[in-house]
Amino acid sequence: MRYSPEHKTKTRSRIIDQAGLLFRRKGYGGVGIDEIMGAAKLTRGGFYGYFKSKAELFTEIVRDEAGLDRMMRRRKGSSPKELHAQAAETLTDYLDPKNATVISKQCTLAALPSDVARAGVKDAKEAYTHKIMELAREFDRTRTGKCPTTDEQPSPEALAAVVLSVGSFSIARAMNDDTLSSTMLDAARDKALELLR
């Protein structure tokens, strides 16, 4: 039976959605094609009609919009003052320990840096670098009110804000001291916002 292009697109999206959740929860090495396809309610054999390999699918997940990047792009402000206020709301939500479970399921940037480094998938590293640069440029937009072009290097302040936000979230997830974790997230948010003024 032949499937319509619309059916193929929906099925591919379902595989990507399920794989993204699994990769972010278990890491690249902790998930196999059988598990991905089972989660998508499809057979293993169907996988290769959509992707050449697990590495190609992983790259697609990394290339997709990451949680914090998506959240920052949703801001509607146009002036640095408006964008900064909206960045404060976004980073407060993103770095709130109560939201850690949701964010860890959604933000590839925070959930997968070690996996991208260890997987040895060159395209995934390129995609991850691209997403980090996009987020840094979005942080620069907060500072200036202007959208930087893709050939502009992000400012040191924007890059530091990326490290503080994404890095602190990744570290906090690995800690077993909730009070220390919360203090660290608050400090990272405050410093990132200071850098974005």
Q: What is the pLDDT of residues 159-176, one digit of tens each?
A: 999 999 999 999 998 999
**75-86: per-residue pLDDT in tens?**
999 899 999 999
Q: Decide if 97 contacts 185 (C-beta within 8 A).
A: yes
**Distance (Å, whole) CA 163 – CA 175:** 18
User: Would 5-62 and 67-195 be classified into the same CATH topology?
Assistant: no
Q: 90-134 pLDDT, tens per residue? A: 999 999 988 888 888 889 999 999 999 999 999 999 999 999 999
Distance CA 91, CA 138 (A): 13
- What is the CATH code of the structural domain delimited by 5-62? 1.10.10.60
pLDDT at position 1 over 70: no
CA–CA separation, 192 vs 88, rounded Å? 9
Both tokens assigned to 185: 């997230």
User: What count of residues does the chain have?
Assistant: 197
Domain positions in the chain are: 5-62, 67-195
Render pLDDT for 17-42 as a digit per residue (tens, 0 to 9).
Answer: 999 999 999 999 999 999 999 999 99
Mean pLDDT of the chain: 93
Reading the block at residue 107, the tokens are 């933000």
Q: Kindly indicate whether the domain formed by 67-195 is annotated with CATH number 1.10.357.10.
A: yes
Would you state the pLDDT for residue 175? 92
CB contact burial 138-177 (16+ within 10 A = b; e otherwise): bbbbbbeeeebeeeeebbebbbbbbebbbebbbebeeeee
Q: Helix (H, G, I), strand (E, B), or coil: what is residue 50?
A: coil
The pTM of this model reads 0.90
- Amino acid identity of 172? A
Alpha-carbon distance of 177 to 109, in angstroms, equals 23
